Amino acid sequence: MNNYKLTIEYDGARYLGWQRLGNSDKTIQGKIEHVLSQLTGEKIEIIGSGRTDAGTHARGQVANFKTAAALEVGEALSTMNHRLPRDIVIKELSVVPERFHARYNASGKKYSYYVWNNPIPSAFERNYSFHYERKLDLALMEQACRKLVGKHDFIGFSSLKKSKKSTVRTIKELSIQAEGDLLHFTFVGDGFLYKMVRILMGTILEIGAGERDLATIDAIFDQKIRSSAGATVPAQGLFLDEVYY
């Protein structure tokens, strides 16, 4: 069997998320599998590095699939991008060792979250950022980011109900860059729990708006209760930038 790696870019605005759904064709995985099955003449199942929620975007999602077909990479890449919807693009297609697994071999991920911080909304940023009207204290949010960096049990910042697996993760970078009214938050870590980035963002914004103080971060780590953390911000501001191997 041949094993192929895909690097994928997509605008998630009109999709129900990454994961294939039996009752809908509005998923990223489903669209790509449909095209690959046509291309190879086989029923293809792709393995993603992880799921993204409805409305979430990606610049560097990674997936792999196996097939008996020996694809000519350049031709297959061109054919896929011709047949896929314009809001899903295969940026790279490559042959990888048979044991490569997009999810299990991943060593970390990089996400971006964008906040449009102005009382007036943006017509252009509405699908790619969260419109937050309240004034934010950038210096206070940077302090919050520094407290979140490091190795912690992030179960309180997750929508996971229960987990037999470890919920300890390491955030290596959490930074903010102001681009006019657009705030760009960067998250780099060895892994992220279900909705963890969106809940971290909700907590950081509430601190920046003066709705909670910095000490609540330590309290959330201690209590390990989801209800202690901030709101889950909308998905449209979230981008999966890169998967590390």
> CA angle at residue 53 from 49 to 59, to 5 degrees?
55
Amino acid at site 5: K
**Measuring CA to CA, which residue among 114, 127, 70 is closest to residue 205?**
114
Amino acid at site 242: E
Residues marked active site are found at 53
Cα(174)–Cα(151) distance, integer angstroms: 13
DSSP letter string over the chain?
Answer: -EEEEEEEEE-GGGSS-SS-BTTBS-SHHHHHHHHHHHHHSS----EESS---TT-EEEEEEEEEEESS---HHHHHHHHHHHS-TTEEEEEEEEE-TT--TTTT--EEEEEEEEE-SSS--TTTTTTSEE--S---HHHHHHHHHHH-EEEE-GGGS--S--SS--EEEEEEEEEEEETTEEEEEEEES---TTHHHHHHHHHHHHHTTSS-THHHHHHHHH--GGGS-----GGGEEEEEEE-
* CB 205, CB 136: distance < 8 Å: yes
